[in-house]
Amino acid sequence: MIGTAAMPEAEAITFRNVSKVFGGVHALDAVDFSVGAGEVHCLAGENGCGKSTLIKIITGVYQPEAGAQMQLFGQALPQITPTLARKAGIAVIWQDLALFAEMTVAENIAFETMLGNRPRRVNYAAMRAKAQAALDRLDVTLDLDARLGTLPIAQRQVVAIARALVSDARLIFMDEPTASLTQSETDALLAVVRTLSMRGVAVVFVSHRLAEVLEISARVTVLRDGKLVGVYPTAGMTQSRLTELMTGKTFDQVVAARDTLANPVVLQVENLSRRGEFADVSFSLRAGEVLGLTGLIGAGRTELGHALFGMTRPDAGVLHLNGRPVSLRSNREAVAQGIAYVSEDRLALGLIQPQSIADNTVLSVLRKVTGRTGLLAADRQRDLVAHWIAELAVKIGQPEDAVSTLSGGNQQRVVLAKWLATEPKVLILDSPTVGVDVGARAGIFRIVRALADKGLAILLISDEVTEAHMNADRILHMAGGRIVGEYDPRQTSIAALEAAVYA
């Protein structure tokens, strides 16, 4: 049944009966979508549900199938082009922001307005004035002369929004704008979004973080498998109900923690320090345990993970693996000792996107799949890949397909397969669900729990407190490069843990 929600008094855009077919597959099937003037609206759904396709139709990148009815700011249009959409006031801020790191804040915001049909000298005073006016509209102060590359990601988001305002945007799509932000940075960005709304600019928010979706949006449009599930008011909506609408499934929201104190210690960390990153870190990790490590971005969590995997060398402290002291001079030595690391940056560090699913899967165990000549043995590779694709239920076309063709959740399973093929004793998962939708997240954590049940020791690094609370047996809180608290999820509420982390 299609949900209903109170409509805003005036609509910025209205799209009816929008369909799009790629190679016989319906990416969108008779979808309706509308956004009110000044409304903050959420577009929700799992990866592959059609969100990006719909945005590209609205912005003129794709043309819909015959029968679609499209209206921009009160004007019915038979066709929309990127130029027309831009002139009408529609802007998209994609997750990668598409900014220039070596240019200044002012240049990134306003340089495009200085372009003309003929070469001319840049009027820097006018450019700075336009950039400052855009920031003023957002009630934000930034150094106009600062190089963008020196700014934190949260301020770069603001620069991207200001750039849209310089182009007179009346509707801004934001794709996963808070994926890399701390809670305080997220709060600041949401304040900017509210400011936009109060000043008549509509915002469509696309995010896998359902709590912020419900906090910031007035309505949510839910897509599933290219079809419209419904349009719902966010007032009274819960995360669990929204998850059900997005996936068509129910998920048990129960704490998975178990008592693992009787299990043998696999990894013992004693007073590990690295100047400027972390200090006096001590903890134990047991066989079959999922140990959560949470804290704000910048707390030193990823830096600690790099040291445990031999990517950096600590200045002080000792590591014991199965009771033996180890000194890791490289990640190769870490792998040889039985430690595997799944990076938070799946695209840059976890996978080689143009290469095949099969090649990515065996990348860390090439010696296992080479013959006597030292060349790749096709049968060994085929058997190993088939095993892990089945073991982790990776949804693929063919193993020879580029790994970039997979959804975020399935790409992450390929990363897991790559490292599990090394038969590790310790698995470090650094933010394993970044960019992964809610349904795929549940599948990944079912795999994590199954691995722990088989005795694998797992360190789960996450800045999402709820994720750590629901999936870890024990939780360490890291702040300022130090372990400042330890919690049992069975005895600590999410609210209490969040209060400690976000204090």
| Domains 11-247 and 256-338+426-503 are alike in CATH topology | yes
3-state secondary structure of 173: strand
3-state secondary structure of 184: helix
| Mean pLDDT of all residues in 147-157 | 87
For residue range 39-97, list pLDDT tens digits in order: 999 999 887 788 989 999 999 999 999 999 999 998 999 999 999 999 999 999 887 77
User: Which residues, in sequence order, are CB contacts of 234 under 8 Å at separation 6+?
Assistant: 42, 213, 214, 217, 218, 219, 220
Burial of 235 (0-12, 13-18, 19+ CB in 10 A): exposed
Cα distance between residue 283 and residue 476, in whole Å: 9
At the fourth CATH level, the homologous superfamily of domain 11-247 is: P-loop containing nucleotide triphosphate hydrolases (3.40.50.300)
Token pair listed for 196? 């936009």
Q: Give the containing element (helix H, strand E) for 125.
A: helix 124-137
Burial of 354 (0-12, 13-18, 19+ CB in 10 A): exposed
Burial 414-430, CB ≥16 within 10 A → b, else e: bbbbbbbbbebbbbbbb
Q: Does the structure show a pLDDT above 70 at 140?
A: yes
Cα distance between residue 214 and residue 126, in whole Å: 39
Reference 290, options 450, 495, 502; nearest CA is: 450
Strand order in the sheet with 40-44: 90-93, 171-175, 202-206, 40-44, 219-224, 227-233
- CATH for 256-338+426-503? 3.40.50.300
For residue range 62-76, list pLDDT tens digits in order: 999 999 999 999 899
Residue 307 phi, psi dihedral angles, 5° rounding: -70, -40
Count the Cβ atoms, other than its own, within 10 Å of residue 139. Answer: 10
Cα distance between residue 363 and residue 80, in whole Å: 44
Q: How many whole angstroms from its chain centre is CA 414?
A: 17
Q: Give the containing element (helix H, strand E) for 360.
A: helix 357-362
Cα distance between residue 144 and residue 137, in whole Å: 15
For residue range 384-442, list pLDDT tens digits in order: 888 888 888 888 888 888 888 887 778 888 888 888 888 899 999 998 887 676 667 77
For helices 124-137 and 153-166, give the axis angle rounded to 10 degrees: 110
The reported pTM is 0.66
Sequence spans of domains, the chain? 11-247, 256-338+426-503
For residue range 114-136, list pLDDT tens digits in order: 766 666 677 889 899 999 999 99
User: Which residues, in sequence order, are CB contacts of 82 under 8 Å at separation 6+?
Assistant: 59, 60, 61
* Per-residue confidence (pLDDT) for residue 347, from 0 to 100: 63
Residue 1 pLDDT level (bands cut at 50, 70, 90): very low
